[in-house]
Amino acid sequence: MSESTMTTQRAEDLPERWSAQRKTEIVLRVIRGEAIDEVAREIQVPVHEVEEWRRVFLEGGQQGLKRRGLDPEERELRRLQAKIGDMTMRLELAEHLLEKRGFAEDVRRLRK
């Protein structure tokens, strides 16, 4: 098989639209040290496009790391939101028990 036939055959096997999974595999090859121009040539995608995939991939990873490291104010806000949710649930349960025990009218009056 000639080299031009191999190149044509490889081009036929390449997807027209790259999935996120496939882009990730390509980016990881570059990050692990493969030459970006060689990878781009192999997959027949311009180098600038592979560089863009790498940039987006790295920025996404950075955003993921930022989400895990919440600042103290964000942590406190989430803690308080959870506390409010817990207290709301307890109040609703208490109201339900009071209604069940014959204090429905009193509960309705207190809600106003």
Query: Could you give all domains of the chain from N- to C-terminal order, each with its CATH number?
Result: 1-69 (1.10.10), 70-112 (no CATH)
The contacts of residue 38 (CB under 8 Å, 6+ apart) are: none
pLDDT in tens, 43-86: 999 999 999 999 999 988 877 766 666 678 888 998 999 999 98
The answer, yes or no, to whether residue 38 has pLDDT greater than 90, is yes
pLDDT in tens, 79-111: 999 999 989 999 999 999 999 999 989 888 888
d(CA 36, CA 59): 18
What rounded mean pLDDT belongs to the chain? 83
Q: Are 47 and 36 in contact (CB under 8 A)?
A: yes
The answer, yes or no, to whether residue 7 has pLDDT greater than 50, is no
3-state helix, strand, coil in the chain (%, to 5): 85, 0, 15
DSSP-based three-state secondary structure for 8 = helix
